């Protein structure tokens, strides 16, 4: 277990650890900035290409031998050509961004000296889970078991390139075994590992939210100076987009081959989008009690300051208790009054969570965006564009 330190303060890194990263470091001595992209390409090819070759060999890649040939299976392409590489590339994007968040928390002076030990304990706890070989082993075991159960017990009704129905029952193709024991477990492992990482990040920020942080109610981010925590959650859009693509592939098959109504995807899509956004934004929501207290206290404090200053301003300039030779125009008093008013407006507009609606909407949109092409199955693109333009105009 290793921790990056800045000015002797440990910094939590979410992705730079664990059994798989140790494996990569062992076999890849020279790390370049393109390493994750190269691994993503190799993983996509490793998951998808054997399925294609085996399907061609067994005659189920195209044609009418099965209802859903390999090349017509939307779900397999979105899983292994979109989601798998995105899950890996996301490490190169999300990891450094959240590292910057952790560095800023540690070095910006927000942690009081008396809370430093608790902060270090939170970092150590996060690193233990990140580096746990047992945790990754459990994740892989769950991925493998769930895949096998889904493949061999809950078989689909529509014959496809993975199984053929005959009088003797269901006959699995060679591609089905690669799919069940290699491709899908890799996809599931990458997905479940990201869920574990999100949990780890949430737990770390929960520990931070329990500290007595130094917050400034007049900070222009309107979140006491910790708006960067919530706003950086938007980088998890890589994960939500990947899951949206998987959702699109699964329901695309249902619509094309099982006559599933397009309107039927609205409820599950909305439900999953809401759950994902809540799960991703949960760490930022932990700061609600702290921000509520800071805002309430600041309203009283700045209200009292405003009352004191405006009373003096009123006495001096409205009631005439000022030097007749002193002019209001150009006086510093009026500028100070304006500055005080602006400060109070910032306090009054302070958010109770360190993120805005744009971040939340962006996360939801990243999941919904890959689903929109499904509407092309029942509506021409021209009509979709016309409908959207009517709504916008």
Domain range for residue 324? 215-392
pTM for this model (two decimals): 0.86
Cα separation, 141 vs 130, in Å, equals 17
Residue 302 located in a structural domain = yes
Which region, left, alpha or beta, applies to residue 78 given φ > 0 means left and ψ of -120 to 50 means alpha? alpha
Residue 9 bridge partners (DSSP): 6
Residue 384 located in a structural domain = yes
Residue 304 located in a structural domain = yes
**What are the tokens at 379?**
């509506």
Residue 8 located in a structural domain = no
Residue 348 located in a structural domain = yes
Residue 225 located in a structural domain = yes
**What are the tokens at 159?**
């014959």
Distinct helix (H) and strand (E) counts, the chain: 15, 4
Provide block-wise average pLDDT over 10 residues at a time, the chain (393 residues).
Answer: 61 83 76 85 96 94 89 94 96 91 87 90 92 92 85 65 75 89 94 94 94 91 90 93 95 87 88 94 92 92 84 71 55 70 85 89 93 76 61 50
pLDDT value for 107: 85
Cα separation, 71 vs 67, in Å, equals 11
Domain count, the chain: 1
**What are the tokens at 187?**
């996809």
Measured at the alpha carbon of residue 353, what is the angle toward residues 350 and 355, in degrees to the nearest 5?
95
**What are the tokens at 219?**
């900070």
Residue 240 located in a structural domain = yes
Residue 288 located in a structural domain = yes
Burial (Cβ within 10 Å: 0-12, 13-18, ≥19) of residue 299? middle
Cα separation, 106 vs 63, in Å, equals 60
**Residues present in the chain in total:** 393
Listed in order, strand segments (DSSP E) in 39-110 are none
């Amino acid at each position: 277990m290793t921790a990056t330190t800045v000015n002797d303060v440990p910094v939590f890194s979410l992705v730079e650890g664990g059994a798989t990263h140790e494996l990569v470091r062992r076999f890849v001595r020279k790390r370049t900035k393109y390493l994750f992209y190269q691994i993503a390409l190799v993983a996509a090819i490793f998951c998808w290409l054997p399925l294609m070759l085996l399907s061609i060999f067994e005659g189920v890649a195209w044609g009418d031998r099965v209802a859903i040939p390999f090349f017509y299976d939307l779900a397999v392409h979105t899983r292994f050509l979109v989601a798998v590489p995105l899950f890996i590339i996301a490490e190169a994007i999300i990891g450094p961004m959240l590292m910057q968040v952790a560095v800023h928390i540690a070095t910006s002076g927000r942690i009081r000296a008396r809370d430093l030990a608790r902060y270090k304990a939170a970092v150590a706890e996060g690193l233990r889970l990140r580096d746990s070989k047992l945790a990754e082993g459990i994740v892989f075991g769950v991925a493998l078991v769930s895949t096998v159960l889904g493949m061999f017990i809950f078989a689909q009704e529509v014959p496809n390139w993975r199984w053929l129905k005959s009088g003797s029952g269901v006959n699995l193709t060679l591609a089905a075994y690669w799919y069940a024991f290699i491709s899908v477990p890799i996809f599931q492992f990458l997905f479940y590992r990201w869920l574990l990482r999100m949990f780890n990040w949430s737990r770390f920020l929960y520990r931070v939210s329990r500290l007595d942080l130094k917050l400034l109610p007049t900070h222009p981010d309107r979140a006491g100076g910790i708006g960067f925590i919530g706003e950086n959650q938007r980088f998890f859009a890589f994960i939500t987009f990947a899951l949206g693509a998987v959702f699109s592939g699964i329901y695309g098959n249902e619509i094309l081959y099982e006559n599933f109504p397009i309107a039927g995807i609205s409820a599950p899509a909305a439900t999953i989008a809401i759950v994902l956004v809540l799960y991703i934004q949960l760490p930022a929501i932990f700061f609600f009690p702290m921000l509520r207290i800071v805002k309430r206290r600041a309203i009283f404090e700045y209200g009292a300051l405003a009352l004191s200053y405006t009373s003096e301003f009123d006495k001096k300039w409205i009631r005439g208790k000022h030097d007749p030779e002193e002019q209001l125009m150009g006086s510093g008093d009026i500028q100070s009054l304006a500055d005080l008013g602006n400060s109070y407006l910032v306090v009054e507009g302070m958010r109770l969570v360190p993120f805005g609606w744009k971040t939340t909407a962006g996360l939801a949109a990243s999941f919904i965006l890959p689903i929109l092409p499904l509407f092309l199955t029942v509506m021409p693109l021209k009509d979709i564009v016309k409908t959207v333009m009517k709504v916008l105009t």
